[in-house]
């Protein structure tokens, strides 16, 4: 069985290196000049395994990280935050092999449990259940649209504000369920990496952004922050708006989650710069440390300042992948606003620059 990530194993005393389903084995492992050294190194690693309790880690002679859990050994990985001359070279050469260590720990444990039937749900059963749940949720939300009398996208904002509070909650609930299902779907690397988006559709970005804002302003959180939304634009983007809204949701949810002071809610601003559309999503709280900022879009990455808050580290990674389909650049900017030098507080800003926009939907 092919594992999720590059691996090494012993079969009839032969050392076998293999690519993973979601990540390929670096070419350096195939070089003849490296073979003998690697075979000797990993033969010792696999022969001295310490059982299946917890994963162990290390760095191989090529400067790549490995993770060992009983007989499963992931190799060819680059853990972010760890520096050496070899690792820095590998990061530049194989950026697709960069991962947060915590993410890989979770994946190897899951894979070990599946292979040993400790936790096993047939993929087809899970996929079918997901498909049916998404379909049912879509039907419910469609009926709610009719009850709210959304005759067109243009009058959505006005009709939503006038609607009965119970209907608004049902509408918001169906949308939040959809977001949860999308999170589960995109947690599988294959689904996000092989995604294709139909660019024949066009939609107004401002309308999708404002819809996400209203959803979070009317969610079920009792102590939620008030989102400040400013600006206006009628420019269109090309693609399926569902995926653009998932992108926005990931960043806005990130902003809400990490706002330190609930009295200072996230600030969202939309503006135009020539033919470009600029969306700025800012939250007030502890600033992401300077040394971590290059890694915030890495799969599974979680900042140390947020390690006590529940999360998967996938939100910004998913947003980054989706942004590429819409020709959007995402950048991060920190604006310090603190008199206490021991704790850096300020605005964590994510800036979306939409490079391909249109004046109309034709």
Model pLDDT for residues 286-344, shown as the tens digit of each residue: 888 888 888 888 888 877 776 666 667 788 889 999 999 999 999 999 888 876 666 77
User: Model confidence over 79-91: pLDDT tens digits?
Assistant: 987 777 778 889 8
Q: For the domain 200-362, what is the CATH code?
A: 3.30.565.10
Residues in the chain: 362
Q: Which token pair is 237?
A: 């983007």
pLDDT of residue 108: 92
Place of tokens 């404002």: 210
Label residue 265 by pLDDT band (50, 70, 90): confident
Which of 115, 7, 14 has its CA nearest to residue 64? 7
pLDDT of residue 184: 79
178's CB contacts (< 8 A; 6+ apart) are: 134, 137, 138, 141
- Return the half-sphere exposure (C-beta side, CA atoms, 13 A cut-off) of residue 297: 17
Label residue 73 by pLDDT band (50, 70, 90): very high
Q: What are phi and psi of 227, to 5 degrees?
A: -85, 125
Residue 123: pLDDT over 70: no
Contact 301, 317 (CB under 8 A): yes
Task: Taking residues 221-226, report their average pLDDT.
Answer: 78
Higher model confidence: residue 147 or residue 311?
147
- Separate counts of helices (H) and strands (E) for the chain: 10, 13
Q: Which token pair is 341?
A: 């030098």
Beta strands 267-273 and 228-231, pairing class: parallel
pLDDT of residue 66: 96
pLDDT of residue 152: 67
- Bridge partners, 42 (sequence order): none
66's CB contacts (< 8 A; 6+ apart) are: 8, 42, 45, 57, 58, 59, 60, 73, 74, 75, 76, 77
Higher model confidence: residue 75 or residue 315?
75
Contact 312, 184 (CB under 8 A): no
Residue 281: pLDDT over 90: yes
Q: Which token pair is 136?
A: 């049912």
User: Model confidence over 18-66: pLDDT tens digits?
Assistant: 999 888 999 999 999 999 999 999 999 998 765 567 899 999 999 999 9
CA distance 24 to 32: 18
SS3 49: coil
**How far is it between the farthest Cα atoms of the chain?**
72
pLDDT of residue 124: 65
pLDDT of residue 362: 66
User: What DSSP character marks residue 292?
Assistant: G
pLDDT of residue 341: 67
DSSP assignment string, 146-202: HHTT---GGGHHHHHHHS-HHHHHHHHHHHHHHHHHHHHHHHSHHHHHT----TT-E
Residue 76: pLDDT over 80: yes
Residue 131: pLDDT over 90: no
pLDDT of residue 255: 83
Q: How many CB atoms lie within 10 A of CB 193?
A: 12
Contact 90, 66 (CB under 8 A): no
Higher model confidence: residue 149 or residue 330?
330
Burial degree of 11 (CB within 10 A; 0-12, 13-18, 19+):
exposed
Question: Strand 267-273's sheet: what is its strand order?
Answer: 228-231, 267-273, 276-286, 345-354, 328-336
Label residue 178 by pLDDT band (50, 70, 90): confident
CA distance 354 to 326: 7
pLDDT of residue 120: 62
The ranges assigned to domains in the chain are: 7-115, 123-187, 200-362
SS3 304: helix
Residue 278: pLDDT over 90: yes
């Amino acid at each position: 069985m092919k594992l999720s990530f590059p691996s090494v194993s012993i079969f009839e005393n032969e050392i076998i290196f293999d690519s993973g389903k979601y990540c390929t084995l670096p070419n350096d492992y195939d070089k003849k000049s490296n073979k003998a050294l690697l075979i000797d190194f990993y033969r010792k690693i696999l022969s001295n395994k310490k059982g299946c309790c917890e994963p162990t880690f290390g760095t191989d002679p090529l400067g790549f990280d490995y993770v060992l859990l009983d007989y499963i050994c992931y190799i060819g990985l680059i853990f972010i935050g760890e520096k050496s001359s070899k690792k820095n070279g590998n990061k530049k050469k194989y950026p697709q092999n960069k991962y947060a260590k915590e993410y890989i720990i979770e994946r190897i444990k899951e894979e070990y449990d599946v292979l040993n039937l400790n936790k096993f749900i047939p993929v087809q059963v899970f996929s079918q259940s997901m498909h049916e749940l998404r379909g049912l949720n879509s039907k419910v939300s469609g009926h709610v649209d009719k009850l709210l009398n959304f005759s067109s996208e243009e009058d959505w904002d006005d009709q939503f504000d006038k609607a009965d509070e119970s209907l608004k909650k049902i509408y918001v609930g169906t949308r939040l369920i959809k977001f949860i299902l999308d999170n589960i779907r995109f947690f599988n690397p294959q689904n996000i990496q092989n995604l294709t988006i139909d660019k024949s559709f066009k939609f107004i970005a401002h309308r999708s952004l404002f819809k996400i804002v209203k959803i979070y302003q009317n969610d079920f959180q009792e102590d939620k922050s008030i989102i400040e939304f400013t600006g206006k634009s009628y420019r269109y983007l090309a693609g399926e708006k569902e995926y653009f809204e998932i992108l926005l949701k990931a960043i806005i949810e990130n902003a809400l989650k990490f706002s330190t002071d609930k009295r200072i809610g996230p600030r969202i601003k939309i503006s135009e710069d020539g033919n470009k559309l600029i969306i700025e999503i800012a939250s007030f709280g502890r600033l992401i440390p300077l040394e971590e900022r290059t890694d915030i879009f890495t799969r599974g990455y979680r900042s140390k300042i947020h390690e006590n808050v529940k999360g998967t580290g996938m939100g910004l990674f998913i947003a980054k992948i989706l942004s590429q389909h819409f020709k959007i650049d995402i950048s991060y900017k920190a604006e310090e606003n603190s008199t206490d030098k021991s704790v850096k507080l300020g605005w964590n800003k994510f800036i979306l620059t939409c490079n391909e926009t249109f004046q109309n939907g034709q």
